[in-house]
Amino acid sequence: MIHTHILGEDSTFSIQGLNEDGTKAYVLSDRVLHRQALWSYDIESGEFEELVYSNDKYDINNAIVNSEGDFIGVGYYDDFYKSHYFSEVDGKQELMVANLFGDKQASIVSRSKDRTRILVNVISDSVSPTYYYFDLNTKKGGAWLSKFPYLARNKFVPVQNYSFKASDGAEISGYFTKPEGVKTPPLIVMPHGGPHSRDYKYFNRELQYLVSLGYAVLQVNFRGSEGFGSAFETDGYYQWGKRMQQDVYDAMDWATRTGLTSKNNACIYGASYGGYVALTAAWQEPDRFKCIISISGISDLKGLVEDEERQDAYLGNIVDMTDSKAVDALSEVSAINMINRIKAPLLLIHGTKDTRVDYRQSKYFYDKAKRNLDIKYVEIDDGTHFFDDPESLKVQYKEVTEFLKKHL
């Protein structure tokens, strides 16, 4: 036994590697700084020793391990993935690679044992990812593999950063993308899934597709999003349909207030937890959106947490399962119980092999709502939670395109 802690109560503790003689561990923990940082930890005494590396704003995300299994650095995310190496040689090699590609984001993803051959991932907000190979001995290299070969030669629209003060004064950040040459395009608000994940500035094919149709897209790193420190993430605990939801509305208010998009011409479109946000917005703000799209979304939050097959550690971030009144209160932030408040047309898409969110979350909502609402439900046989097969994606894009063209 090296260390014990209570999930959600004590500081986090994740061993990333050991020193050469195995007496000390390198540990990611949010102790003291309230964000994930790398600390040295003495195994025999069971005590933390010193801070090895931290970032002033973002959580450290992971250890970087070479092909021999050696712990050589750490990575974190701002808009893109960033690396910090303990070795000056490795750091200079990463810098050399980054300088080759100008304003694109280039990071080493694999090295040979002698560090003379490397694979590099190159990407930006408006360029799809391509892997390059380099042989430093022969000083040769070139493109090796494109993730989306049919998009590799295309230039897409740049993504803009934004930040603002939410209605309670907290700073919220995200990304705004709009078609070029359009002053106030229709808006799609696109909350991310998770909810304890986040949006990044990386090339996003779904976002760029929506922009190519003439829509602006607003992404929000609402309270509960990861990577911005422990307090920001835990401020989203127990806040489904509440503070996390309000951050999305506040971001939309900021976008319309600053003139980036028109006020009365918006749709909300989300998947997984984002689908929950979309369905919740449909009844909480019935006059705000012209249409609602929920992909693999959640309509019955109480049903979700009581589904024994899908219970996991995340439930502790939604509700205290030992508090029966709190569990019952989830019905008050569940769209399936608020159908009479919904006005906008809805599109629901769900796969029958979704092991994350049961497809009946969409089916039962549709069965209950179809008599009173303008609603379409598309059920994809054998579709997974992430629609990670080409046929499921084709159905999703086709249905979303037709729905948006009709209602937005």
Provide the pLDDT for residue 308: 64
CB 398 within 8 A of CB 387: no
CB 28 within 8 A of CB 11: no
Provide the pLDDT for residue 29: 95
Provide the pLDDT for residue 327: 92
Q: What whole-number distance in Å separates Cα of residue 202 and Cα of residue 183? A: 24
Provide the pLDDT for residue 102: 85
HEC string of the chain?
Answer: CCCCCCCCCCCCCEEEEECCCCCEEEEEECCCCCCCEEEEEECCCCEEEEEEECCCCCCEEEEEECCCCCEEEEEEECCCEEEEECCHHHHHHHHHHHHHCCCCEEEEEEECCCCCEEEEEEECCCCCCEEEEEECCCCEEEEEEECCHHHCCCCCCCCEEEEEECCCCCEEEEEEECCCCCCCCCEEECCCCCCCCCCCCCCCHHHHHHHHCCCEEEEEECCCCCCCCHHHHHCCCCCCCCHHHHHHHHHHHHHHHCCCCCCCCEEEEEECHHHHHHHHHHHHCCCCCCEEEEECCCCCHHHHHHCHHHCCCCHHHHCCCCCHHHHHHHHHHCHHHCHHHCCCCEEEEEECCCCCCCCHHHHHHHHHHCCCCCEEEEEECCCCCCCCCHHHHHHHHHHHHHHHHHHC
Q: What whole-number distance in Å separates Cα of residue 405 and Cα of residue 407? A: 6
Q: What's the burial of 210, exposed, middle or buried (CB within 10 Å: 0-12/13-18/19+)?
A: buried
Which tokens belong to 342? 């919904």
CA angle 123, 127, 130 (to 5 degrees): 50
Q: How many Cα atoms are found within 13 Å in the side-chain-facing hemisphere of 364?
A: 16
For 131-187, the pLDDT digits (tens) are 999 999 998 999 999 999 999 888 899 999 999 999 999 999 999 999 998 888 999
* Mean of all residue pLDDT scores within the chain: 92
Q: Does pTM surpass 0.75?
A: yes
Q: What whole-number distance in Å separates Cα of residue 99 and Cα of residue 118? A: 15
Residues 6+ apart with CB under 8 A from 115: 89, 90, 93, 136
Provide the pLDDT for residue 86: 87
CB 247 within 8 A of CB 220: yes
Provide the pLDDT for residue 172: 97
Q: With a cut of 70, list the residues of the chain below it in pLDDT.
A: 8, 308-314
Provide the pLDDT for residue 114: 86
Residues 6+ apart with CB under 8 A from 240: 195, 276, 301, 318, 330, 333
C-alpha distance from residue 372 to each of 107, 135, 401 (Å):
52, 64, 24
- Domains of the chain in start order, with CATH, are 160-407 (3.40.50.1820)
Q: How far apart are the first and last CA of the chain?
A: 58
